[in-house]
Chain A
Amino acid sequence: MNWRGVVAIYRFEMNRTFRTIAQSIVSPVISTVLYFVVFGAAIGARIDTVEGVDYGAFIVPGLVMLTLLQQSVTNASFGIYFPKFIGTIYELLSAPMSFIEVVIGYVGAAASKALMIAVIILITSAFFVDLQIAHPVWMVAFLLLTAVSFALLGFIIGIWAKNFEQLQLIPLLVITPLVFLGGAFYSVSMLPPGWREVTYFNPVLYLISGFRWSFFGVADVPIGISLTAICVFLAACLTAIWAIFKTGWRIKP
């Protein structure tokens, strides 16, 4: 393994994060604070409790997940797409690095950055609501698994995308709606019967539900199913990455 190469990519990507700190860290934090103000304070004050949890606190796991998914996908997709776009990918291809090492560098950096922002948001939320974490180890496990899986998805999107529009397409048109409809701001039990069944087809529901369980011990779906769902998703992304590696799809003619 060329670990020095992996570290070089990781450092380079993290440098990019700190170079563009306003865009990469301040902006997601501000938008999450806005959600707290609007949904937690203004509207949440009129909602009693959901599943026995204060509404302001109830939305915290959903908000953290929303940011974590968006950040891990966009960071990883942009991270690999940009070298493709400006042509510096030649250096990655000509370096004594395997594709897997390149993936570890980019996905590791994207997941780290997303986790960093998730933690900042968690800390910020503690200023607004009374936050309790029932299962801290599971919470960390869910954070890690989600960050890594969605950074892998982002990497695949970055390889697939041929232009900036395609790069934005999946995060904007697929991930954000799935998070909103996956119970980030409500419990599935609050939906009318027909819609409830539809929601079970949304994979993000299982992530948010599992993550919320680690906070409050309550969930829309059993925790085992949530864990299985995220592991299946992780396996699917790894398989896709392996296929890209084997064929050199869209990176190596």
Chain B
Amino acid sequence: MAYIYMPLIFTVIGYGILWIATAPVIDFVYNVGSMVMAQEVPEFNTQLGSVFDGNDGTPEEQPEFVSTSNVNLPVFGEQYGQITCERIGLDAPVYFGDDNDILRVGAGQYIGSFLPGYGRLIMLCAHNTTFFRPLQIIEAGDIIVFKTSYGVYQYQVSRTDIKDHNDSSAYDLLKEEEELIMYTCYPFETMVGTKTDRLFVYCEKISGPTVID
């Protein structure tokens, strides 16, 4: 009987240890897995919402200016846009705010940056295992399309850079020129260890309405 209950005991103990150790990441793994295996649209956290009702417009059809009265500003946790890059397969909803709840369901914008069209820095982040995984093949010259309810914007990748997450020279929050920065953890392949580096992708605005008073 020893060769029956001994392996069983070890199995139970092993699963117990496994559960205790992976409990903090089970949620993450489940959410990541649900992104590719879910058969139904995932339910959003009740704190998340949306002011983005889609935009079928093309970059060529955009006006030069749009009034602030036509801009439905998002609050923290609200989706306000969709960002895509056809060549690399990037397609992510964009939320205002960048906490863990938001990063589970899309790309998050740092609240010290702002929306497209305001002539300021737009700083987006997303997980390198989900929405920003395509960034590993992004190149200078790639076109990013950023759709919002009030306009369709185009940005062109000017350069990429690998920097430490504490390196504040990677971005200029007070820049008086519109720039889109997308960042994610780097490297993409490494699964072990907390990543301290980030891949920063810098994009210049090439089209889209300017928001005016």
Whether A and B are associated in the same complex: the answer reads no
